[in-house]
Amino acid sequence: MTDSDKSPAPGAAPDAKGILIRRHGLLTRVSHWAWVIAIFMLVPTGLQIFNAHPTLYIGQQSGFAFDNAVLEIGARQGTKGPEGYTVLFGQRLDTTGFLGLSGGATRPDAVAFPGSMTIPSFRDLATGRVVHFFFAWVLVGALALWLISALFTRHWRALVPTAADVRSLPRDLTAHARFRFPRHRTYSPLQKLTYFSVLGVLLPLIILSGLAMSPAMNAGWPWLIDLFGGRQTARTIHFAAMVLMALFVLIHVVMVVLAGPINLMRSMITGRYRIDREAGP
């Protein structure tokens, strides 16, 4: 998510800490923080919506006449009292205290995801839907803004993995496993693969699967729901893509902390990034 520039930042000069370059353009920074806000609101409001019917299916339809559930989260009366459970591909797991049933023995709450993970924190499907749909369009707008910027600056080329990147990927993975994070002008092979997957695959998948669940979009673009193999499959894919996005954000934050939060945060606020001296001109 950067706009690398081969020239040092104005007034900057190499020093013992490295070379300060202009790495992130304005549109990249704006779209990045718009994504941050949108995802922060979309995940918990999405879980609020999911709580209204905490079961995922494969196919076009669902109900008692169908046996196509792939995930179910709920609560039931067990031998020792109420218990939460999660059924994933037919395998039942006891998730009491987290999924299905939370809140402790004194105030048990039979809900798929606890209030600490949803917006609002109490059951309010209407508010969850309104907020979710609003920030869904913020996500779409931010992606469109970034794509326009990437096309004009040709920054998209920096995200496409090359054959050389594939060959260098094992070495880059080893460096990351050893907590070694060289600061170069361009993306590392692992960064290219990750950002390309998120921007080119995961975000479009989230957006399209979300649109496929909309009755209005089904009327205008009936082929969209067929593309996903049915409304229920689109909902399942949407949920799975959300989980992957949440994992990406979590790992991304951890990597920022490990690789130097001051340098990376400065690059996403001012656009200036300090690289290693050996990576300079």
Q: Check residue 278 and give its pLDDT.
A: 59
Closest CA to 273 of 86, 34, 19, 71: 19
Measure the CA–CA gap between 234 and 226, rounded to whole angstroms.
9
pLDDT range class, residue 70, cuts 50, 70, 90:
very high
Amino acid at 170: P
- Here the tokens at position 270 are 């001012």
Give the DSSP letter of residue 64: T
Average pLDDT over residues 158-174: 89
Instruction: Decide: 57 and 48 in contact? Cβ < 8 Å.
Output: no
Three-state DSSP state, 55: strand
CATH topology (fold) of 19-54+122-279? Fumarate Reductase Cytochrome B subunit (1.20.950)
> What pLDDT is stored for residue 63 in this prediction?
64
Kindly report, residue by residue over 78-127, the tens digit of the pLDDT: 888 889 999 999 999 999 999 999 987 678 889 999 999 999 999 999 99
Round to whole Å and give the CA distance between 272 and 21: 6
Q: What is the pLDDT of residue 281?
A: 42
Distance CA 72, CA 87 (A): 5
Q: What is the mean pLDDT of residues 32-52?
A: 96
Spatial separation of the C-alpha atoms in residues 61 and 232, rounded to whole Å: 6
Domain boundaries, the chain: 19-54+122-279, 58-112
Q: Is the peptide bond before 120 cis (omega within 30 degrees of 0)?
A: yes
Closest CA to 99 of 79, 117, 114: 114
Is the pLDDT score of 7 beyond 70?
no
**Cα torsion through 27, 43, 263, 256, rounded to 10:** -140
Token pair, residue 25, equals 């353009």
Exposed, middle or buried, 270 (CB in 10 Å: 0-12/13-18/19+)?
middle
Residue 62 reports pLDDT greater than 70: no
Structure-token pair, residue 218: 């089904």
Average pLDDT over residues 185-197: 88
84: which strand partners? 75
199-253: pLDDT as tens digits: 999 999 999 999 999 888 888 888 888 899 888 999 999 999 999 999 999 999 9
pLDDT at position 45, please? Answer: 97
